[in-house]
């Protein structure tokens, strides 16, 4: 019941059939199926990472907009408590919204945008 001194002397009492299989633990993946499978896995990983980045940027934009609207809402409440008329309240809220949205713009530009800006036309 052993092969190359690997395995059981006898299968009796071991709850196994004693069948010995080849070990693939040290297999380095030199066959074509291994490489094809790895390429498929890598391509799905890159697709997922790209979609996650776009989701993350959308989430960050949404959170920034929520923060802006929260501050505008607080200003609106203060102005309404001060008995200002609706036109001035709306005007001041729009001004605050504009200033906050302009300050929250990121100064980062992607490499692609920088290269397009540098490219001769």
pLDDT digits (tens, 9 = 90+) for 1-26: 566 666 677 777 777 777 777 777 76
Q: What is the mean pLDDT of residues 57-64?
A: 82
Tell me the mean pLDDT in the region 62-68: 88
How does the average pLDDT of the chain come out, rounded?
A: 79
The residue behind tokens 């934009």 is: 61
Please check the confidence at residue 48 and state whether its pLDDT lies above 80: no
Q: Is the pTM of this model over 0.85?
A: no
- Using alpha carbons, select from 43, 42, 47, 1 the residue that is nearest to residue 20: 1
Q: Are 63 and 104 in contact (CB under 8 A)?
A: no
Average pLDDT over residues 22-31: 69
Query: Distance between CA 100 and CA 71 in Å, rounded?
Result: 9
């Amino acid at each position: 019941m052993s092969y190359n001194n690997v395995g059981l002397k006898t299968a009796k009492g071991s709850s196994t059939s004693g069948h010995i299989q080849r070990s693939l633990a040290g297999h380095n993946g030199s066959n074509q199926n291994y490489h094809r499978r790895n390429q498929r896995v890598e391509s799905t990983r890159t697709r997922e990472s790209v979609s996650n980045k776009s989701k993350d940027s959308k989430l960050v934009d949404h959170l920034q907009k929520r923060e802006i609207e929260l501050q505008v809402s607080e200003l609106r409440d203060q102005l309404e408590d001060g008995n200002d008329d609706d036109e001035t309240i709306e005007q001041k809220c729009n001004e605050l919204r504009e200033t906050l949205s302009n300050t929250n713009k990121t100064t980062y530009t992607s490499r692609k945008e920088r290269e397009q800006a540098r490219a001769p036309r």
